Chain A
Amino acid sequence: MSKTTCSTIRSQLDELMLGDPHSPEVSQHLRECDACRDFHEKQRKLRQIVGSLGTVSAPADFDFRLRSKLASGKSNGSYQLMRTFRVFVQRTAAVAAAVVIIVGALFLVREFRNSNPPIDTAVDNKPPSKTAPADVESVNPGNSQVSKGTEESARVAGDKENKTVPKRNVTTAPRNNRLLASEDKASSRAPLIRAPQQALDQIFPVDASQQSLKVSLLDGRGNPRTISLPTVTFGSQRVVPTATSFAPKGVW
Chain B
Amino acid sequence: MDTLTSIDELGFAQALPTEALEDTTSDHALLEATRSGNQDAFGELVNRYRNQITSYIYRMTNDYDGAVDLAQETFVRVYRAADRYQRSYAFSTYIYRIATNLAISELRKRKRRKLVSLTGFFQPSDGSEPKEFNPPDERPLQDCELVDWERRTAVQRAIGTLPEKYRAPLILRDVDGRSYDEIAKILETSEGTVKSRISRARGFLREKMTAYL
Name A's B-contacting residues (CB within 8 A): 11, 14-15, 17-18, 42-43, 45-47, 49-59, 62-71, 73-76
Contact = CB atoms under 8 A, between A and B. Distances in A.
Instruction: Decide if the interface of chain A is mainly helix, strand, loop or mixed.
Output: helix
A193 to B, nearest CB: 84
B109 interface: no
B209 A46 contact: yes
B77 interface: yes
B46 A70 contact: no
Given A15-B195, A49-B209, A56 B58 contact: yes
B177 interface: yes
Nearest to B205: A46
- The prevalent SS among residues of B at the interface is helix
Given A14-B199, A58-B51, A70-B4, 8 more contacts: A17-B177, A47-B174, A50-B175, A57-B51, A57-B54, A62-B54, A67-B10, A75-B77
B146 interface: no
Contacts, number: 110
B156 interface: yes
Given A62-B54, A62-B72, A70-B76, A14 B13 contact: no
Contacts of A67: 7, 10, 12-13
Give chain B's interface residue range (CB within 8 Å of chain A).
35 or more
B180 interface: yes
B202 A14 contact: yes
Contacts of A42: 206, 213
A54 B6 CA distance: 36
22 contacts: A11-B199, A17-B177, A18-B174, A42-B206, A49-B152, A50-B205, A51-B174, A52-B148, A55-B52, A56-B54, A56-B55, A56-B58, A57-B51, A58-B68, A58-B71, A66-B72, A69-B73, A71-B6, A71-B10, A73-B4, A75-B77, A76-B3
A17 B67 CA distance: 27
A46 B213 contact: yes
A235 B7 CA distance: 110
B155 A49 contact: yes
A53 B75 CA distance: 24
Nearest to A59: B68
Nearest to B6: A71
B89 interface: no
